[in-house]
A = this chain, B = another copy of it.
Amino acid sequence: MSEDVFRALADPTRRRILDELAERNGQSLFEICTRLVTKHGLGLSRQAVSQHLAVLESAGLVVSRRQGRYKFHDLNTEPLERVMNRWLKTDSPENSS
């Protein structure tokens, strides 16, 4: 929940992950993995996706809930809304780093 929303969005793979979660919320790491490989043809390891999810989570764009041996991930668009009114002044004057 920090401030590196921009840095988190910088990577195309992470954007794909957000797309994936936007289309189908509450996926596990392996679900996201296989979907990225099959639907988008990306060849990346489980660890890669895991690290991407960590970045997204620390940016507050993804929240996760542990449940048994599964960890489900949900999209959270709230940081996006806060951060985008920095130059598009359509709302409150909340600026930051």
Q: Mark A residues whose CB is within 8 Å of B.
A: 6-7, 9-10, 12, 15, 18-19, 22, 75, 77, 80-81, 84, 86-88, 95, 97
Contact = CB atoms under 8 A, between A and B. Distances in A.
B7 A10 contact: yes
Q: How many copies does the complex hold?
A: 2
B97 A88 contact: no
A75 B97 contact: no
A75 B88 CA distance: 11
Contacts of A81: 88
A14 to B, nearest CB: 9
A73 to B, nearest CB: 14
Contacts of A84: 80, 84, 88
